[in-house]
């Protein structure tokens, strides 16, 4: 864990700063936790006693949670560095899942009344009973961006500039993307780059990008 150095106190500030232990509220950085030195608990005349030193060092090794707290901050609390289960917890907090459902592309033999998922003889295969969708599990990097986008959507004002900012943050450096209000209870998300099946699944997942209730959402790429 890293963090910026504590700022110099303003001359008008009192010298005594409220704190918890060595942590000074408003001054100390949120970063590396100093490791407790068990040797400070020993008087010099007992420093060479193998029995006393072994007891104190063993107790410190069993009770010191410095590394545990550091790992908790890095792997779970800090969204920018969280991994695996930590991101899964963040997903539950903001209301998204790592597993997305991607529409299948297989064409089955059938009739026009069945819609676009069916085709004629010589163009498709017989339906085997399997589902027409497939599940895709996002990696940590993609899931982190999805979580941040959903968190922004949860608190957004729903305006066009706010939605555009969320789209650009969701696909940084990919190209031009924006939302347009059709003025007829419809929104169109336009992407001037190709979306992967997983990215398309993210975009079409309800709630990831802002959209008012009852508004038809169209996706163009």
pTM: 0.59
pLDDT tens per residue, range 62-89: 777 777 788 888 888 888 899 999 999 9
CA distance 156 to 64: 42
Report helix, strand or coil for 139: coil
CA distance 23 to 34: 10
Assess contact for 66 and 84: CB atoms under 8 A: no
pLDDT tens per residue, range 108-149: 555 554 455 545 445 554 555 555 557 778 889 889 988 988
C-alpha distance from residue 213 to each of 101, 185, 205, 216, 217 (Å): 22, 9, 14, 9, 10
CA distance 166 to 147: 11
Q: Which of 215, 213, 214 is nearest to 189 (CA)?
A: 215
């Amino acid at each position: 864990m890293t963090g910026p150095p504590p700022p110099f106190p303003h001359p008008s500030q009192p010298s005594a700063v409220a704190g918890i232990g060595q942590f000074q509220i408003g001054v100390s950085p949120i970063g590396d936790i100093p490791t407790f030195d068990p040797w400070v608990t020993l008087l010099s005349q007992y420093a060479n006693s193998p029995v006393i030193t072994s007891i104190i060092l063993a107790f410190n090794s069993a009770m010191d949670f410095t590394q545990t707290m550091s790992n908790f901050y890095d792997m779970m609390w800090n969204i920018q560095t969280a991994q695996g289960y930590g991101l899964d917890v963040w997903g539950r907090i903001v209301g998204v899942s790592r597993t997305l459902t991607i529409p299948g592309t297989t064409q089955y033999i059938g009739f026009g009344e069945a819609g676009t998922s069916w085709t004629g003889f010589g163009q498709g295969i017989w339906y085997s009973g399997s589902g027409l969708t497939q599940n895709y599990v996002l990696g940590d990097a993609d899931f982190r961006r999805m979580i941040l986008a959903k968190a922004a959507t949860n608190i957004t004002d729903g305006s066009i500039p706010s939605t555009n900012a969320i789209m650009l943050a969701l696909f940084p450096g990919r190209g031009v993307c924006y939302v347009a209000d059709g003025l007829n209870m419809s929104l169109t998300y336009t992407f001037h780059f190709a979306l992967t099946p997983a990215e398309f699944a993210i975009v079409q997942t309800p709630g990831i990008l802002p959209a008012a209730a009852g508004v038809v959402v169209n996706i163009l790429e």
